[in-house]
Structure 1
Amino acid sequence: MCRKTLKIENFVSSSLYVIVGVTGPLGAAIARALHKRGDRVRGVNRSGHGKVPSGVELVAADVKDASIARQVCAGATVVFHCASAPYTDWSNPAAPKPIRWTDEADHLPTITKGVIAGAGSAGARIVYGDNFYMYGPVDGPITEDLPWAATDRKGLARISAVQDLLNAHVKGNVGVDIGCASDFFGPEVLNSTVGDRVFDAALQGEPVEIFGAPDVLHTYSFIDDVAAGMITLADSPTAHGQVWHLPNDEPVTPRHFMKVAYEVAGNPHAIQIADDRVWQKLGYQAHLHDREYIVGHGKFATMFGAKPTALRDAIRITIDWLRARK
């Protein structure tokens, strides 16, 4: 079920990086970055289909089955766990809805157990890409020392996955690091509050809706910066068994984010505020956008340094990608 397998001498390093969830936005960004620097990459998704850089091996596998996970992780140095279900469809901004082809709350813990089994059998490290659902509603800066206070199903699923990973690290079964990010934007990011719907509208000069409070500060995560942070964790000499908030540029208001997107696209901004009833349909997700959402990455910066892409530059990269995609 492989797209292509290349001989090891075609690569700068003999290390093998396995990316579970390679055709999602984060997995794809990591694959691009690793491929660019000449690393050997094996991508895994359920279908065995999807866009990956030329030379990246693409394998169809359901890693919820531990025996299959062991096969696809064989020979790996690092396993990037980027698998999760897409949880909101933003194609109709007036009526966002859950995507039901699979339920992250039901499957994420099982996927994670499979990844632990696969990486453990290969003697590989795991770098897991997470969000901030495990903290639940937060008033004030979001830092790694906050309690995991989520009570909703998806937040509890995230807590379960993180606990399993960190327990496996403590037991010595596998080395683990966990990189957390906020709302994605950038190349290949589609289903996000600041995904392609925002940039399509900016390019076409059409109106776009802001969800939540338009003038409170919010941290946004440029997907290439998230990938770089994940790779930094993978390149660290040892696994730390810790949660890390990955670097982002300074928080801005949603209104400012949208305004910059239109400016870079060369069109006058046409921003609208979504009806509050939309948020009622999102339930637990409302707290992510109805108050300040400021993520601190000081811990990561102290250990590894941090040079996130400036917002306007990141938006320009995103606009250029979308123009080329048309």
Structure 2
Amino acid sequence: MQTVLGANGQIAEELTRYLHDHVTHDIRLVSRNPGKVHETDQLVKADLMDAEATAAAVAGSDIAYLTVGLPIDSALWEQRFPVMMANTIAACREHDTKLVFFDNTYMYPRTAARQVEDTPFEPAGRKAAVRARIADMLQREMDAGTIDAVICRAPEFYGPGKTKSLTNSAVFDRIKRGKRPLIPLDAHTERTLIWTPDASRGMGLIGNTPDAYGQTWHLPVDPERLTYAEMIAVAGQVIGEDIRYTTVPAAAFKLGALVNQPVREVSELLPRYRVDNIFDSSKFAARFPGFRVTTYRQGITEILGG
């Protein structure tokens, strides 16, 4: 039995497809309102804020994947993520279940330095502090040998279906609607984006590789990074149009943050868009040389239906 905790998002859905196609049909999907991806999926309703419910959801599982996401809300993250991590760790320890944690890069330094698996955390902002805290919680358990776990880390998403990210909403979704894409701060810094199906496939592969445990892994990305200007140029080639874009300055975000809660929450992440974002997944590429990463051109073409 392999169990996906937080089973409603795009990452969890693509992970379920990978597990079903390549590993097992014995899959349990856990969330407050889970839905089947395949007819054979087992559904369990549970709130990961409830320790007993989490333990019951994990019971009988060989591997559990913690993929839960929350709305971009600092207070909500502070209230929920540490409790859900603690409950999941306790449940996996109780049932001798391996844990695969899907993590992000918010706690990394907001600089142009290359990001690798042992990059020290320098959290800046409330959301980054929460992500550092829960990653550290799990790492301490891994170091102490109390749990067999692995951390799978991903940069910003882009992708099909229900993928949620600033890039999807501000760039590709707007292009699909015939609107001018909006670029935060600078259109000419290199971006590292991960194609959501690649993130899920990479996590499923790592989770079912015994010697991958006890480590942190950067999930696979296209090493040929593009700027937003270059991505939009590719999008123009895909749809056969010359696409013009608008670069949104920091002052506009600051003004919007005064009256708009979502803009205020996103503002914490903006410094990352002023500099190149170089997320290095060469460790994964060396260990899994047969994994085929989706190129930016392939991903953009799929999103735009070219």
Q: TM-score normalised to the size of structure 1?
A: 0.82
Q: Residue 58 and residue 187 in structure 1: after superposition, are their counterparts in 2 closer, same or farther (change >3 A)?
A: farther
Question: Does structure 1 residue 275 correspond to structure 2 residue 261?
Answer: no
Deviations for 1:226-274, whole angstroms, at most 9, x for unmatched residues? Answer: 1111012111123532221111002110111223234323443131112
Task: Show the counterpart of 2:31.
Answer: 45
5 Å-filtered alignment, 1:65-104, equals 65-87=50-72, 98=73, 103-104=76-77
Q: Which amino acid aligns with 2:11?
A: L
Task: Show the counterpart of 2:119.
Answer: 146
- Kindly tell me the number of residue pairs found equivalent between the two proteins: 293
Deviations for 1:271-320, whole angstroms, at most 9, x for unmatched residues? Answer: 11123234433332012211111111122222333531111112223334
Distance 2:168 2:133 in 1: 27
Task: Show the counterpart of 1:3.
Answer: none
Task: Show the counterpart of 1:254.
Answer: 228
CA contact (8 A) 2:192 2:221 kept: yes
Q: What runs of 5+ residues in structure 1 fail to find an aligned partner?
A: 1-15, 88-97
Q: Aligned to 1:168, which of 120, 137, 141?
A: 141
Q: Which amino acid aligns with 1:234?
A: G
Distance 2:35 2:181 in 1: 29
Distance 2:9 2:19 in 1: 15
Q: Aligned to 2:281, which of 297, 312, 317?
A: 297
CA contact (8 A) 2:112 2:278 kept: no
Q: CA deviation at 1:162?
A: 1.1
Distance 1:227 1:193 in 2: 19
Secondary structure of 1:202 counterpart:
helix
Q: CA deviation at 1:150?
A: 0.8
Q: Aligned to 1:263, which of 237, 243, 252?
A: 237
Q: CA deviation at 1:65?
A: 1.8
Deviations for 1:142-200, whole angstroms, at most 9, x for unmatched residues? Answer: 11222111142211211111111122223332211111111111123443112255333
Distance 1:270 1:56 in 2: 44
Q: Residue 242 and residue 26 in structure 1: after superposition, are their counterparts in 2 closer, same or farther (change >3 A)?
A: same
CA RMSD of aligned residues (A): 2.2
Q: Which amino acid aligns with 2:58?
A: C
Distance 1:57 1:268 in 2: 47
Distance 1:83 1:204 in 2: 29
Secondary structure of 2:211 counterpart:
coil
CA contact (8 A) 1:202 1:267 kept: no
Distance 2:87 2:205 in 1: 24
Q: Residue 25 and residue 277 in structure 1: after superposition, are their counterparts in 2 closer, same or farther (change >3 A)?
A: farther
Bigger CA drift: 290-299 or 183-192?
A: 183-192
Task: Show the counterpart of 2:193.
Answer: 220
Deviations for 1:93-120, whole angstroms, at most 9, x for unmatched residues? Answer: xxxxx5x8x7123211111111112222
Distance 2:36 2:229 in 1: 32
Identity of aligned residues (%): 26
Distance 1:298 1:175 in 2: 24
Q: What runs of 5+ residues in structure 2 fail to find an aligned partner?
A: 258-265
Secondary structure of 1:135 counterpart:
coil
Q: TM-score normalised to the size of structure 2?
A: 0.88
